[in-house]
Amino acid sequence: MSDTSTNGYKSGSRLEQVLRAGHFAVTAELGPPQGADGEIIRKKARLLKGLCEAVNITDNQTAIVRMSSIGAGAIVLQEGLEPVIQMTCRDRNRLAIQSDLLGAYALGARNVLCLTGDHQSFGNHPTAKNVHDLDSVQLIQMVVEMRDQGRFQCGDEIKGVAPRFFVGGAANPFGDPFEWRPYRLGKKAKAGVDFIQTQLIYNVERFSKYMEKVRELGLHEQVYILAGIGPLKSPGMARYMRDQVPGLDVPDHLVDRMTAAASGISKEDKAARREAWRKEGIQIAIELVQQLKGIEGVAGVHIMAIEWEEAVRPIVEGAGLFPRPEPEPLPTADDPAD
């Protein structure tokens, strides 16, 4: 066997190994810069190393041009951290996606998250042409078939090494139609997805209802579901997410808690108010992790601390998820694997 042997694992990624071993997994998010400074990636990677199994590297998130997910992912790998390459259908057709994934695999990436992508009208190039040659379900199916059948989407055989990714997808339990959402997850499971990262969850009660249906369909036994966690930075952010962001459900009591956090502090003391809000935001995130951990079928959390990577450590530690489990090293090619 070559060095691509995965010894019974689909990809052999750390994320896959930790999930397969039955540990409660943690992934985080690393947003690349709007520039070409690799040092920014290294600094963020150092903040996150040891706190999670892998970090998602966003792909032109919210349709704003940033350093590529694969380029930034290669730097993250150099820092000894495992990337989850995000791949959207907005900017690339099936040719570009497949060729980029071959390159990502050759660079050492082993996880990929398959997304539709935010519409370009939200970003900084609203006059751009979008692609959407595939949708996220078809993308999942394509990457799974590249791995399991060694074939490109057209059916041609992949020459030599086929990319063996641990394949992820996204789910928004709060999108409409609400009752359809578990079935959409089922479609991704049918397409062969290995893990799911959900939209940010603040409304645990509503998410529990979603998970009830997910369990009824048996989907929690087919895919690893990582619940999305996002620490709130301020009451303003909480209100914005509650009122302005489609597909997010932030209950009023969390907005009130964020507001109350700085209630005794003078409005003049901006630094102290900011500090108090952030402390409360992290505390809420810790409580959410603990509540979500108790829901059957939740296999881990995905912590999205956008431009606030420092928040990941206190959340992981506060929720009792530190230190992270160390998977057994994969046997080398020469070892008798079985």
- Binding to other proteins (CB under 8 A) within 252-291 occurs at none
Instruction: State yes or no: residue 199 binds other proteins (CB under 8 A).
Output: yes
Q: How far apart are CA 191 and CA 86, in angstroms?
A: 17
CB of 10 to other proteins, least distance (A): 20
Q: CA distances (Å), 76 to each of 37, 52, 72, 107, in order? A: 13, 13, 6, 11
Shortest spacing between CB 215 and other proteins, in angstroms: 18
The site string for other proteins over 212-251 (x = CB under 8 A, - otherwise) reads ----------------------------------xx----
- For the bound state, the minimum distance from the C-beta of residue 129 to other proteins, rounded and expressed in Å, comes to 11
Could you tell me the smallest distance in angstroms from the CB atom of residue 135 to other proteins? Answer: 4
108 touching other proteins, by CB under 8 A: no
* 150-189 footprint of other proteins as x/- string (CB under 8 A): ---x----------------xxx--xxx--x--xx-xx--
Q: Which is nearer to other proteins, 228 or 327 (CB)?
A: 228
Query: At closest approach, how far in Å is the CB of 229 from other proteins?
Result: 17
72 vs 229 by CB, closer to other proteins: 229
The correct pick among 34, 99, 121, 124 for binding other proteins (CB under 8 A) is 121
Binding site for other proteins (CB under 8 A): 89-90, 94, 116-119, 121-122, 130, 132-138, 141-142, 153, 170-172, 175-177, 180, 183-184, 186-187, 190-191, 199, 246-247
